[in-house]
């Protein structure tokens, strides 16, 4: 884990990479290229609208958590663009070190934390002081998981476009609050 932590980047570096990949991606064969613009818009919207919740800040302080937060993510991901900025800003405000490990730079980390056999992101690793993994959250809050389950159970009754729209409306209104609450509960 120490190696992954050392290779991880700050949220500011993550945002620079998102911007670079959208405007001038060095990887001309990036299969996610079409998603960087939308990802960047969503990241910026989340940054602009997120406000640290003082009640959640009190909860994390009560837990006396001395560890760190390592987020496995990529800036093209819709779930990540809605949660990573809020989670990063919240834990930084709580005085915790937060880093982001780019999933596609080395898949050996995400392969240890698969979701139903997939490399779904973001995954938030709650680390103890010694960098051992205390708990794992992600890739989306329970409400988002419920929407996904509804979609997968009957795609005809709940089409993909409607699912994606409902999920993004939820993210825009919730502004990371549920994700942070669920992560705090895992600490």
For the record, the structure tokens of 147 come out as 């929407």
What pTM was estimated for this model as a whole?
0.94
One DSSP character per residue, 39-72 reads HHHHHHHHHHH----HHHHHHHHHTT---EEEEE
In the chain, the domains with their CATH numbers are 2-186 (3.40.30.10)
Per-residue confidence in pLDDT tens, the chain, 187 aa:
999 999 999 999 999 999 999 998 888 888 888 888 889 999 998 999 999 999 999 999 999 999 999 999 999 998 999 999 999 999 999 999 999 999 999 999 999 999 999 999 999 999 999 999 999 999 999 999 999 999 999 999 999 999 999 999 999 999 999 999 999 999 9
């Amino acid at each position: 884990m120490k190696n992954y932590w050392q290779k991880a980047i700050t949220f500011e570096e993550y945002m620079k990479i998102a911007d670079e990949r959208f405007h001038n991606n060095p990887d001309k064969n990036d299969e996610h290229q079409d998603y960087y613009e939308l990802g960047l818009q969503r990241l910026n919207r989340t940054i602009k609208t997120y406000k640290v919740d003082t009640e959640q800040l009190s909860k994390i302080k009560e837990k006396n958590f001395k560890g760190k937060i390592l987020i496995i993510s990529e800036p093209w991901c819709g779930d990540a663009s809605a949660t990573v900025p809020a989670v990063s800003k919240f834990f930084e405000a709580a005085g915790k070190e937060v880093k982001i490990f780019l999933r596609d730079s080395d898949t050996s980390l995400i392969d240890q934390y698969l979701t139903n056999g997939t490399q779904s992101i973001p995954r938030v690793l709650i680390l103890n002081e010694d960098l051992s993994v205390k708990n794992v959250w992600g890739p989306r809050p329970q409400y988002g998981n419920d929407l996904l389950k509804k979609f997968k159970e009957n795609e005809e009754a709940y089409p993909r476009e409607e699912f994606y729209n409902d999920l993004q409306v939820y993210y825009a209104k919730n502004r990371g609050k549920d994700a942070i609450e669920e992560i705090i509960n895992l600490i």
